[in-house]
Structure 1
Amino acid sequence: MNQLSGSQLLMLLGGGTAAATTLSPIERIGLFKTSVANTDKETARLQADPAVKRDLARLDRVIANAKTPADLFKDPEAVRVLLEGLGLADQAANIGLAKAALLSDPSDKTSLAANLSDTRWKTAAEQLGFAGTGLETLRSTATRETIAKGVVDYKRLTAIGEKSQAVSDALYLRNMPEDTAPSVYDVLGNKVLRRIASTLAGLPDELALQSVESQARTLERSIKVSDFADPRKREVLINRYLVTAADKVTVNDPLAGLGITLNL
């Protein structure tokens, strides 16, 4: 899984300040469809957003002035933007971990990036290539564009996630690169895929108390992990997940009362 997609990130778009209420399957399906339909419009809006532009400009300045990859981690705000673009926004406060993991060599089986249970670190370290190319890969046009896209996707998806974590998860799964074929350990090490797989398989949270090997065996008996690699089968999984998952949404949800029909 060497290709890093900003859409791996996991967190989503929304608003509303009213008290929370349980979101029904029909409402989750409706929000999912609306979010998919509005992707291009919201992406364009966020690309032009002054706050997003400021964030990316700050990261660009830090990258331009850095002499080594380690210099990047002297600026917490730049690290925050970088991690948002890499799908690791929830780790923005862990600068020490980010520095140690991303500077390590993911091809070395003894490295920190290769041994963390959260496989996003290894994917990000592979994408940046600090251990092998220094700042060269990060300064390339392709990598900078990927990170910028990741930041925009993070902002867009964060708002959706504030309305429904389940819809956020479903969009994450839908946007996985088509050549992505996660192993059972990749699923266990990815908090979004783990949440989706555990929900679909009806597995309890207590599964996490077992050894990783036991968790893998249990999950493999309950769900076909290979289905995550097939875009058509993903759609089936998404529909099942949106019906099965339980989350919260604000009372003033814009989809409420629209009479959206469920079509599985």
Structure 2
Amino acid sequence: MFSTASRYQILAANPIRTRSTIENDVVVKRETAFYNANIKNVKTIDQFVNDYRLFNYAMKAHGLSDMAYGKAFVKKLLEEGVDNPKSMANKMTNPLYKEFVKAFDFAGKGALATSEASATTETVSKYVQQTLEHKEGEQNEGVQLALYFKRKASAITTHMGLLGDKAVLKFVQTVFNIPAEASKADLDAQVRNLRKHIKIEDLQDPAKVEKLIQRFSAMWDMNNPTQATMNPILNLFGDSTESGFSIDLMMSISKLPRGGY
């Protein structure tokens, strides 16, 4: 089993081949073919939420598989849209709901909603990425979180945005060794704490995002040791670079300032 850093580097080094492997998966090809052939024929919200395969494909693509059973809830979100600041989607703390409603903008575009790129090619691309992340997560949750953070980082513009996404928050808590219990504090206290550790503008810098991922990978493996991550420790005089988690890296991580990279 690869360390988190090694597996992430393998996937990131050749993203085209990585995505191609997922796209050519038998199930992914079948479901994507069905989605492409039928989504533009959907003209109403009722049609959409009542078509099991299309609806579940779309929900998975947008990271909402766990809520696919809540058709009445999602229907109301879609009916209200996102133009009204008081709509349900705009009030949800989880930004994934708003992203979903914007992608399938029945409230704003009516019958044309499913012909937009956001509902067709972009949703298919997200489905492939979600499938990749889920597959990696079955082997190593750390890799899944690293891939997810890389995908979401640039869209986060406030510290409250970090709190609104549980996966992103878990990533940040791991990076800076913030205990999960900190989430029990009131929101203002949580925001103040996050401001001590991370600058939101840094999430717009790909180089700094990669440094965060590198630190996360090391911290994750130290907190969740496996044979792959323990080998460099057990074999101090051997080749510790094969797993992608070197002794030098471990030592440097331990010396990193908590508020920087």
**TM superposition score category, shorter chain reference:** 0.7 to 0.9
Give the C-alpha shift of residue 181 in structure 1. Answer: 4.3
Q: Which amino acid aligns with 1:49?
A: D
Q: How does 1:69-80 map to 2 (within 5 A)?
A: 69-80=45-56
Matched, 1:260 2:243: yes
Q: CA 1:81–1:251 in structure 2 vs 1: closer, same or farther (change >3 Å)? A: farther
Is the partner of 1:108 in helix, strand or coil? coil
In the alignment, the residues of structure 2 paired with residue 221 and residue 230 of structure 1 have an alpha-carbon distance, to the nearest angstrom, of: 19
Q: How does 1:57-72 map to 2 (within 5 A)?
A: 57-60=33-36, 62-72=38-48
Give the C-alpha shift of residue 250 in structure 1. Answer: 8.0
Q: CA 1:211–1:239 in structure 2 vs 1: closer, same or farther (change >3 Å)? A: same
Is the partner of 1:260 in helix, strand or coil? coil
In the alignment, the residues of structure 1 paired with residue 131 and residue 90 of structure 2 have an alpha-carbon distance, to the nearest angstrom, of: 28
1:97 is matched with which residue? 73
Whether the 8 Å contact between 2:43 and 2:110 is mirrored in structure 1 is no
1:47 is matched with which residue? 23
1:196 is matched with which residue? 171
Q: Which amino acid aligns with 1:221?
A: K
Whether the 8 Å contact between 1:196 and 1:241 is mirrored in structure 2 is yes
Match of 1:112 among 79, 88, 94: 88
1:235 is matched with which residue? 210
2:252 is matched with which residue? none
1:137 is matched with which residue? 113
Matched, 1:155 2:108: no
Matched, 1:33 2:16: no
User: Deviation digits for residues 39-66 of structure 1, max 9, x if unmatched?
Assistant: 3223223323332232224334553443
Q: CA 1:182–1:260 in structure 2 vs 1: closer, same or farther (change >3 Å)? A: same
The alignment of Structure 1 onto Structure 2 pairs a total of residues equal to 238
In the alignment, the residues of structure 2 paired with residue 49 and residue 163 of structure 1 have an alpha-carbon distance, to the nearest angstrom, of: 17
Match of 1:210 among 176, 185, 209: 185
Stretches of structure 1 that go unaligned for 5 or more consecutive residues are 1-22
Whether the 8 Å contact between 1:185 and 1:216 is mirrored in structure 2 is yes
Q: CA 1:251–1:135 in structure 2 vs 1: closer, same or farther (change >3 Å)? A: farther
User: Deviation digits for residues 209-231 of structure 1, max 9, x if unmatched?
Assistant: 23333322222233223222211
In the alignment, the residues of structure 2 paired with residue 102 and residue 207 of structure 1 have an alpha-carbon distance, to the nearest angstrom, of: 34
- Report the structure, 1 or 2, having the larger helix content: 2
> Does 197-206 or 235-244 show the bigger shift?
197-206
In the alignment, the residues of structure 2 paired with residue 33 and residue 99 of structure 1 have an alpha-carbon distance, to the nearest angstrom, of: 40
Higher-Rg member (1/2): 2
Q: CA 1:96–1:204 in structure 2 vs 1: closer, same or farther (change >3 Å)? A: farther
Structure ranking higher on relative contact order (CA contacts 8 Å, 6+ apart): 1
| TM-score (normalizing by structure 1) | 0.77
Q: Which amino acid aligns with 1:259?
A: E
Matched, 1:245 2:220: yes
Whether the 8 Å contact between 2:157 and 2:201 is mirrored in structure 1 is yes
| TM-score (normalizing by structure 2) | 0.78
Whether the 8 Å contact between 1:55 and 1:81 is mirrored in structure 2 is yes
1:187 is matched with which residue? 162
Matched, 1:170 2:146: yes
Match of 1:225 among 200, 218, 222: 200
Stretches of structure 2 that go unaligned for 5 or more consecutive residues are 233-239, 250-261
In the alignment, the residues of structure 2 paired with residue 102 and residue 251 of structure 1 have an alpha-carbon distance, to the nearest angstrom, of: 47
In the alignment, the residues of structure 2 paired with residue 101 and residue 175 of structure 1 have an alpha-carbon distance, to the nearest angstrom, of: 24
